[in-house]
Structures are given as structure tokens and as C-alpha cells.
Structure 1
Amino acid sequence: MKLSVLRNACLPKKGTVLRWLLPALLLLLPISQSHAQVVWGKQTLKRGKLWATLWNSFQYGDPVETSNAFHTLDYPGYSKGPNIDDALNYAEAAGYAIYGERNNIAYSYTLNSRFFPSGEHVFPLEEAILTRNYNLENLSTAGEEIVTGGHHVNGLELDLSRRSMVWSYPEYDDFIIHEVTITNFDITIVENLYFGMRYGVRLTQRSGTRGDEKFGWNDENHLFYFYDHRSFRFEDEEPVQWSNGVGPERGDIGDARDIWEAGSRQHELDAAGHFTVIVLDSANGNVYQNILEHVGQGVTEGAPREDVMFIQGVDQPARFLEVLTHQQPKMSWDDARDAGGEGGNKYERRPEFLVSVGPLTLSPFETKRIVFAEVMGEMSREKIVEGGVENIDLMAVASLDSMLKNVAAAKRLFANNYMPEYHPPMTPTNGENSLRLTTDAGKITVEWPPVPDTYVDPSTRQNDFAGYRIYRSTYFTIGPWTLVADIPKADAEIVNGMVQYVDDDLPNGVGNYYCVTTYDTDGHESGKVNNNRFPVYPLRAPNEQFPKEVYVVPNPFRQNSGLLGQGEGNRIEFIGIPGRCVIKIYTLTGDLVQEFSHDDGSGSA
């Protein structure tokens, strides 16, 4: 409430104004104090495969850089390690824009990840709060992880709140659904209101390339989607030539790893996914989809007017309205190129996607809800890691099919009031590194708490839990996964209150990742949510003949180990060492590079 509301309200009779106004002012004081305590903040959604760090300012990731511990639509997501650029993110900046008219005066505002919010334009109203509702323990709460938060927009005098939801169920783990509520806490009407989400598309941070994206159009779902394609020289639009791996045949489509150096043993496609944004509820407004040039904090190098994004503090509200209501021609980049009209130019190869809704009207104290979803899809991890020309060609079909399947799932979930069509049993543990992994000679023991006998399906209220599945990857924390054991409930071995599985006869020197799922009597399986972030290795027996039979592999190192597996390229293993010792690494000239202690009792490090 604001004092202007009291001034414009119908006043009581003379002599009663003071008695009526004083309680209202007393009520205003704690409200203002509570707002002053709210700060800009962020929370990260990690329950599904699509990860995002969300702010109560509606920004994504981090306002300064994408090379940090935060996540800007990472798919599949995983926490960052020493290499902070190791992230499969599909946007380098994201935020929103708004336009509206109050008392015949136009106002506008926009913000994305590359800037800090200014107190001149906005201030926080609701803290960024993460709510965990794993396995939909509370069916009345939508989502397994939920981030809420909001802020006030000055000028328009509107309160904006957002509720963002993710799920781990395999059918629903490839998207994030956002509910944006806009409230008019004033006594005058807001007309011609438009609200849009904006995304600086980049596929991906891990590959280190940008500006080679393309977009397609799916007429059945009325959506644009984005995917990685071949790099080109911006000045003359000639394709970049590659000499290694699949480069001579397919360039850097999908950003294959083997194009960077001759003889690479890694062929993974670092940009294999397809990305889209859909509107699930437009509050009866029109939906506009606009593709512009994404320049970050820079300026365009000559893009036509229809491809230039508005800039906060530079462009007038009329320009915001023009861009928010511009409809991209409904065709792919390739078709637009052939048609010769709007679209299909080099500027839209580094795209910013703006999805907006309007016009809306907000009466005094009215609230309207708009629902968006960011949806991803990719072909199987096995094919992505395998790489090669055949899989690059397959990616164009399989990743698109996966994305469209996930679009359909998001629509079904929304139509069913966020209630999944099925419920797998509860996940054994929750979050990265939540399994207990113990290494021994030639084996690794995996442990987790058993599903309790009191478990019941949230919908049927029956205990339909049937067993566990253990998966292993020798490549990376997101797979590809190999099923190594299927343990029926009756056969689960309980040791000291934990279910135990021993994975033995493992080769030495190979890193292992694990995840454990549950399944029910109908075959519904829980999501893969408990993988270890970094590999674990079976131990070797200590060397009783030390200092004989001591080895260092690979030797010589030659700047890359040649080992397979994400992150394994820089690994050196010391074999045949005592259970406890000090290891020193020197250069050929005798300079000490590193010294560390080995004390786990094994014969390798």
C-alpha cells in the first residue's frame, strides 16, 4: 500500500480523518521495514537434468560472468570443478523485459544476466527461496524443487513474482516451468501491458564457440528451436575449414572434440542439444516470438533494425513496444535465407530469443499469471560421446525429436495442474555425491539407505516399490550409463542399515561414476539424481618390493594422458608405491612441480 492510495481514497467525515489515517500509517511502517530487509539473491535448481541459477530479479546465472559456479540453463547439469568453463550451458545471458501504460504514460524496463539491477528502476520484494519437495512428498506442492522470488518495477508500479519448478521423473526432467505473476497494487489501471523472457543463446560454454547457432521452426507446436551448426567468418560468411576428425566433412556442427587436434581419442559432441521456450499460459494475450542479434554488453556491427535488441537507459518505451510485439517470420533460418526477406542473416546466427505476451490489462489490485517453459532435448549420451559423421547427422533428427517429446510432456504436466501421470518410488538418495562409495583392491562398494517399508505411492497409497538399479559410467558424471545390477527388493543386501552392492573385477586405473535408481511394480523408474561428481578408482595393493616395480603412467605425459573419459586427459597415475609415502613431481630440468602425500594404504595414486 502507498500513501497515494490513501490520498485518492474516499475520505471519512471531518473530525474522523486522524483516527482513520493513524492506524493505516502504523500498518505501513512494518511493511516498509520488511521490504528494506529483502535483498537481491539467487537459488539453483538442480533436481532435473536442466540446471539454472535463478535470481529474484529474474536474471539467470551470474550478473557478471558465466564462467563461475552458477548455471545458465546447463543441460545436462552438473556442478563445476576446477575448470569453471566445463559447463554444457545453452544461454550466456537471460532475463526479461516489460512495457506498459499507466495514465497514458508509457513505461518500460529490461534486465538480463550481464548487468546488476539498479535501485532506480527496481527493488526486491521477495527473497529468492528454494523449496525442496523431493519425490513429491507433498502432493499439494507443484515441483520437486521450487525457486520463488520477486521484485517491484518503478514507474509501472507493478510487483513481479516468479515460481520456477523442476522434476526428476524421467519424463519430466528436461524442462523448467516458470509462473510469472504480475500484480497492480495501485488504484489506476495499467493498459497495453507486455511481458517477455529473453535469452542470449549460446551452445555451449564447454565448447568455447558461439555465433554459429541456427534456428528451426516447428509448425505443429508453433515454436522456434535452436541448435549448433557450422562456424563461419563473420566478415564474409565463408565457412570455417577444419582439418581434423569430422572437421573436413561436417565442420564444427555439434562442436565435436576431435576437430581441435589430430589423433584425438575423444569424439564427444559438446553441443548436441536442442533448445526452445514455450508459453503454456498467455493470460489470454497474444504470443510473440522474436529472434534478434545477441551482442551482450556490446553494440551491433550493422544488423538491420528488426534484429537490434532494445537497451535499458538508451531506448525509449516505444522501441520496447516495437520489439516486444514484433513477430519473427515463421520459418527456419535456412528457409529465411532462401526466401531473401527478414531473417536468415549472419546476425541471427548469434541469436537472442525474445518470447513475449500481451497486450494485457491490469485493473487496480488485479493479478495476472503467465507461464513459460524452457525445454531441452538431446539424442542418447552414447551417441553423443561416440561422435562421428553418422551421429552428427543423426543429431539433427534425434535431438529435435527428443526436444519435441519433452515439449509435449511439459504441456501435459501443465494441463494436469502439475500432477505427473505416474509416480516412481522415492529416490534412494538426493543430490550429487550422496551415495556412499568405498574403494578397495579391484572393487568399489556402493551403499545407500533402503526404501522404508512404510513407503507408499503418492497417488495409489500402495507400497509398489520393486527394486533398485545400479548404473556405472567410465566416462563422466552425466554418463553414458551402463546398467550393472538390477536388485529386486527381496534380494537387497542390508549391511549396517544400508543397502550394499559390491562392483568387483574392475580394471585398475579406470575412473568410475555411479548412480542408483528405484523402480516399481509397473516399471516406473526414478530419476538419476545421486551420481558422484568426480570419478572413483579401485585401489591397487601396496608394493611390498618398493622401490622396485614402480611405474608412472602415461609416461611420457606429452601434455595429454590419452585416457578416455571427461577430465581424464590430464591424469597421471603412480603405480607400485607404498601405502604411505610422499610423491614429488619434477620437470626434466629438475624443478619441483608439485609435492603431495599419499596415505590411503593403497599401491597407487
Structure 2
Amino acid sequence: MVEFALVGGDDDVAFRKSADYAQFAADIDYHLPSAPPSPRLHVATGERRVDLYWDDSPESVPDETSAAPGHLDFEGYRVYLGLDRQHPVRVGQFDLGTAPHDTTGFNTGFAAIQKDTLIDGHRYRYHQAITDLRDGLSYFGAVTSYDLGDDQIESLESGIGQNKFQAVPSPAPGEGSGGPIVFPNPYRVEAAWDRGTLVRDHYLWFARLPRRCVLRIYTLAGDRVFETHFDGATDHGESARGLFDPRQDLDTGPPALSGASFAWDLITEQGQALATGLYVFSVEDLVHGGVRRGKFLVVKSDRER
């Protein structure tokens, strides 16, 4: 049997490296090393922060090609978060620091992130809070795993896409003082998260809502323009296409929200875009009773009228 390999490189050194790797793969009958899987991940949000919880399942997954004891060559975790959907930024790295796991990474150990937490019946071993974020903006991220590597193959990392998420910081139930708020207020033409999008993809936020409530919006003349029953346990932003559109946002699941925030797409009950004006809203608490009220201003551009 004759085997062929297509190899390439930007220069002679890269070309020879590719050729050597192809020969190496053939020599071991193509039983190539693989990266450990990404961990199971839970994402929660609060005021100006995102909380990440993940388990230690990658640490017990063997790589039969590894010479590490028990074929367990897991080395550490990398945490990514950013505003760029396609290229989140690495914001953390944690790895084992004792031999033989002291040749790759920073040898930080896991003490800084170790926090056993039970959420929805699943136990998570690690936690990292990422703070000083901007409420209302969508952040994208992931937690990956990587291995030791060896003198033949560099350290391999699981793909960001395995547990990639979208999260929007905003006050969680009980956070912040005062009643429900709207932001931005006033809403002038577009918000920071709307820039470069279609008018129908614009939205604003209602925050500090009760866990279950009825949100109503009126003109100053008393005409109702919108009403919705909000449940923070089940709302995932489907009300605003610009925030999450399951038909095209296929690289993540629904965004992680605080459970006390609602994105409104500025479309009335009649299916029309909201006009420039001052509006009154009321929030009826379905759990503890009571009604809170407020106002917000919307200023549209001439091209939207």
C-alpha cells in the first residue's frame, strides 16, 4: 500500500515541519493525540459581572497516545471573554504546577478558582468572577482545556466552540437600590449595542425587575403600547431579535441573563416601531404585590420616523 500526504508551509522551515509531522503520523498508524474536552460550564450574570462555574471532568479523560502516568495528560484551563463574538480574549489561565505537569503553562495551581458549587443538581468545582464589565452589552466567551504536549507535539487545546456562550451583565434580583430602571435613558437614535444594525434589531433594557411581573408601557395620553408577562427564570432574550436570533446565532445558545432584566425591541403591540416621545411604564410584581412606575424618553432619527 502506498500512502500520500499533501503538505505545505509559508517557508522552507514550515514546509519541512509539516512533512515531518506527516511522517510522524504515518509512523504511529495515525493514532494521533487529542486535546482534552472542554468542561461542563454554567454562566451567571450580575451587575457589571459574569460568573463562570465549571466542573473538573476533563481532568479524568485519558489520551491513549500520551506517555503521562495513566495517559492522563490534562494540564489546565483557559478562560475567554470579550465583546468580539468571533475572537473573545483570553482573560485567565490556570494549570497544574507539580511534576510532571510543571513544564507547560504558568504552574498556578487551582487554589484561586476552586469553589465547590451545586447548581441545578450538578456539582461544579471551579469559579471565576469577571468584573468591571458594562451592563447591557453582550459578551462572548468559553472555558477550554489543554494538555501537556510533548517533544513531538505541542500542547493541544479544546475548541472554544465546545462551550461558547453569550452573556449580558445587569443587576441580578436583589442587586442595586431602588426600583425598576430603563437604560439607556434617554434612548437617542441607538444604544452602544445597536451600532451598525438594522432598526428592527435595536432594543433597550428594563432592569431590576421582580422575578415575575407584568410590564406595561403607555404614552403620556394613557394609550398602552406594549405589555408582557416577564419571568426571569425562563426569559432568554427572545423578545429582541438584535440580542438573540436563534435562526442565525448558531454558535451559542440563548444568552445568560440576570433573571431581572428584559430586552425590548421598541416594537409596539401593533407591530409598529416606537415613535419619538416620552413614555410611562409600570411594573406589577406578581410575587410580592405592588406596582412601581417610571418614565423614559426615546429620540429617533429622521430616517426612522
TM-score (norm 2): 0.49
User: Based on CA coordinates, which of the two structures has the bigger radius of gyration?
Assistant: 1
TM-score (norm 1): 0.27
Greater fraction of residues in helix: 1
